[in-house]
Structure 1
Amino acid sequence: MRFLAFPVWFHAAAFAFSGMHNLINEIQTRQSTSETSQLIGDLVDGATTTVGRRVRDCITGGTSCELQARKDYERPGSLDSAICREDTCCVWDIVQQELTSHFRHDNGTCTSLARAAVRLGFHDAGSWSTTSGTGGADGSLLLSSEEIERPENDGLQEIRSEALRILDRYSGHGVSAADLVQFMHNVATVACPLGPRMLTLVGRKDSQESNPGDLIPSNNATDASYLIELFQNKTISPRDLAALLGAHTVARQFYVDSTLAGQGLDSTPGVWDMNFYREMALPNPPPGVFRLPSDTALSVADGTAPRFEAFTDVTFGQTVWNAQYSSAYSCSARCSDFVSGAISNIDISVWRSATVTSDAQGHNSRAVSYGIVVYHVSLEHLSEYTPVDGNFSFETTVRYSEINGSVN
């Protein structure tokens, strides 16, 4: 099993704050006094490896699912070189570089392919439940010709074709379909401005068998109790469900209402910001913004509404939401099924060199220049990078009203 992580670097509008990690944990505890994360597979009474313990603690909230690590990796050679073949990080560095070129506009916002990659990752991982027996993050959405034709997967054809092209190029170098789909999701979230830096496991087994049907909810569903139960059967709590829904901040709809095709689910669909939660709190969506019936139902449901409100906090909402999303998605990707031992630790970092101006409320108004790098650190150093009591930098201005012009 290989262990990957995606730290994001913010070089603007950051400051040191003592005890921030404790504050985030306190907020999350207040939000979830009756919720615990369910462990499955070999994490229930296993987790004897370094990676296993790290994943267990990530899912249960014992530690962050994000890392604060520093770059120390450089690709040792070309893809076909012997030294690259011997280096676990090398092929993934090449893949992420290729993905990033497709996932970011010149103005720094994320593209339609990035948005689709976020959705592809969840749809491959989410077609599963504790009673389904099969399914989950197994690459079947790429490898099965039937699964992609299901109505809930409309709009994923282009990103699937892109993924298959990449898979064809790199499968001989240790890249599997199952891992690639989740890797694409995580690179996409990092490529979107303000997106979280997430942990990723590789080592999943591919399956050409279609995942079970009827486990991805309809966007037209209006029964919040049904939706919450559907996700609880995937070990995803209402708290985690509310966090996962925030990915709609970079979504557009094309099939729920074809007469309004292309409308974003918030006003800035090229930015991983809190506008989705803020605009869901309005009586009506802003002009040009589409509101899914399922999102409306969950925004006012007892189990999820408090999280919708918490994630709008102007000071800490972005930080808390990114942390919660990282934990929730780690759970939804069923990483516990694949923990078998640590080989290496790969960290992917988006660095952001930005020029930012802020209004009186601390809202960012402009940012420029984005890049992505990959690096390797040893597992023994992981504890250094986990936020602890003391000072560390974090992003505090959390909302973009404009990024180099129009947001696409």
Structure 2
Amino acid sequence: MTLNTLSTLLLVIATARITSAGISKRVTCPTGQTTANEACCVLFPILDDIQENLFDGGECGEEVHESLRLTFHDAIGFSPTKGGGGADGSIFYFADIETAFPANNGIDEIVHTQTSFINNHTTITAGDFIQFAGAVGVTNCPGAPRLEFLLGRPKATAASPPWLGTRASRHSYKHLGTVPRGQFLTRGGSGLASFVTGVPFDSTPGIFDTQFFIETQLRGIVFPGNGSNVGEAEAPLHGEMRLLSDSSLARDSRTACAWQSMAVGQANLQAKFKAAMSKMATIGNDRSKMVDCSDVIPVPKPVVGTPHLPAGKTMNDIEQACASAAFPSLTADPGPATSVPPVPPS
């Protein structure tokens, strides 16, 4: 090897080491945690606080469900022509106006719950807090993806106009009409964004799994006490509820096969949910002006269990809707017919 060749090789190695060091460089925050960007250090005290005091030490309970729901209701209030800043915290800053919208029915409870936390953590805006709490909360549910979180939403300056959100009672064609604005459709695993306090959409509300897509496809039974004030259809199991919109989406020819593909596709569900949340969480914001703080979000635990039919059900209870492929063959849990308990409060 010539001297010139050796010098060139050593230069390449040194450059590679410098580049690698630059890529992996971390900042140690005053709290002791590390992150790729110093601006993200403000999030660690908030993370510790909400995990302990909002999510009851890291439980996948009702506050997680409702915090996830709130990320949607704040972000969806956006229109280039009608106004609305999207994911900007306007549902907090103008709570008296926005929580009164029919599409935001019941959202006032989680807004009220998060208010003290938002007021205690003024290092970030309410828009950032709402999306951060949703991203952190869902990590308490085994099987969830680790969501992206970008920091830097400006403070909302005006309330969202009414009628920009979707109501639970609407049918699938109306939901599909809203997709170009938000560019997402996936609800998410295990019906985590519950619309009625304590009433789950599937039999595993504490796990981010595919059961929601299986159980929505089951033939429904009308149970005594199931009302219609929020647009729920008949449910497949005692203690469970089903929205008319979900039932319709699962059976609409335009979406039935995509819905069915989620029934046993945990990785597919995680990827689509993460992509949908990434788009939703930044509606109305300029991503190029935001700081990527995704490494602050905890890593969720792996999914618990495998896709299955609830006890007491058979494949004959599946209402086939996809015209191009049969529903995946599943076995039922042993035991008597499943009865779903309420989601416990955090």
Tell whether the structures are fold-level matches, with TM greater than 0.5.
yes
Q: CA separation of 1:362/1:126 partners in 2, compared to 1, >3 Å: closer, same or farther? A: closer
Decide which moves more: 210-219 or 136-145.
210-219
Residue 76 of structure 2 corresponds to 126
Residue 97 of structure 2 corresponds to 146
Residue 276 of structure 1 pairs with residue 212 of structure 2: yes
SS of the aligned residue for 1:273 comes to coil
| 2-structure distance, mates of 1:355, 1:126 | 29
Would you tell me which structure has more strand in proportion to its own residues?
1
SS of the aligned residue for 2:295 comes to strand
Contact 1:102 1:113 in 2 (8 A): no
Contact 2:207 2:303 in 1 (8 A): no
Residue 345 of structure 1 deviates from its aligned partner by 4.3
Residue 197 of structure 1 deviates from its aligned partner by 0.7
Describe how 1:4-403 pairs up with structure 2 within 5 A.
75-77=29-31, 87-102=38-53, 104=55, 109-144=59-94, 145-171=96-122, 173=123, 175-222=124-171, 224-232=172-180, 234-236=181-183, 240-241=184-185, 243=186, 245-246=187-188, 249-254=191-196, 262-284=198-220, 285-313=236-264, 317-335=265-283, 337-341=285-289, 345-351=293-299
Residue 406 of structure 1 deviates from its aligned partner by 9.2
Contact 1:148 1:157 in 2 (8 A): yes
| 2-structure distance, mates of 1:96, 1:293 | 36
Residue 227 of structure 1 deviates from its aligned partner by 1.5
Q: What is the number of residues matched between the two proteins?
A: 276
| 2-structure distance, mates of 1:122, 1:351 | 22
SS of the aligned residue for 2:150 comes to strand
SS of the aligned residue for 1:191 comes to coil
TM-score normalized by structure 1? 0.59
The residue type equivalent to 1:155 in the other structure is G
The residue type equivalent to 1:90 in the other structure is C
| 2-structure distance, mates of 1:406, 1:216 | 26
Q: CA separation of 1:110/1:179 partners in 2, compared to 1, >3 Å: closer, same or farther? A: same
Residue 211 of structure 1 deviates from its aligned partner by 0.6
Contact 2:75 2:283 in 1 (8 A): no
Flag the structure with larger Rg: 2
Q: CA separation of 1:341/1:104 partners in 2, compared to 1, >3 Å: closer, same or farther? A: closer
TM-score normalized by structure 2? 0.69
Q: CA separation of 1:136/1:163 partners in 2, compared to 1, >3 Å: closer, same or farther? A: same
| 1-structure distance, mates of 2:65, 2:125 | 21
Q: Give structure 1 stretches of 5+ with no counterpart.
A: 1-69, 79-83, 255-260, 364-399
User: Percent sequence identity over matched residues?
Assistant: 27
| 1-structure distance, mates of 2:84, 2:284 | 14
| 1-structure distance, mates of 2:142, 2:152 | 28
| 2-structure distance, mates of 1:216, 1:117 | 17
Residue 109 of structure 1 deviates from its aligned partner by 4.5
The residue type equivalent to 1:333 in the other structure is A
Contact 2:31 2:44 in 1 (8 A): no
Contact 2:210 2:262 in 1 (8 A): yes
Question: RMSD across aligned C-alpha pairs, in angstroms?
Answer: 3.6
Residue 45 of structure 1 corresponds to none
The residue type equivalent to 1:328 in the other structure is A
Greater relative contact order structure (CA < 8 Å, 6+ sep): 1
The residue type equivalent to 1:151 in the other structure is P
SS of the aligned residue for 2:242 comes to coil
Contact 1:274 1:311 in 2 (8 A): yes
| 2-structure distance, mates of 1:135, 1:153 | 16
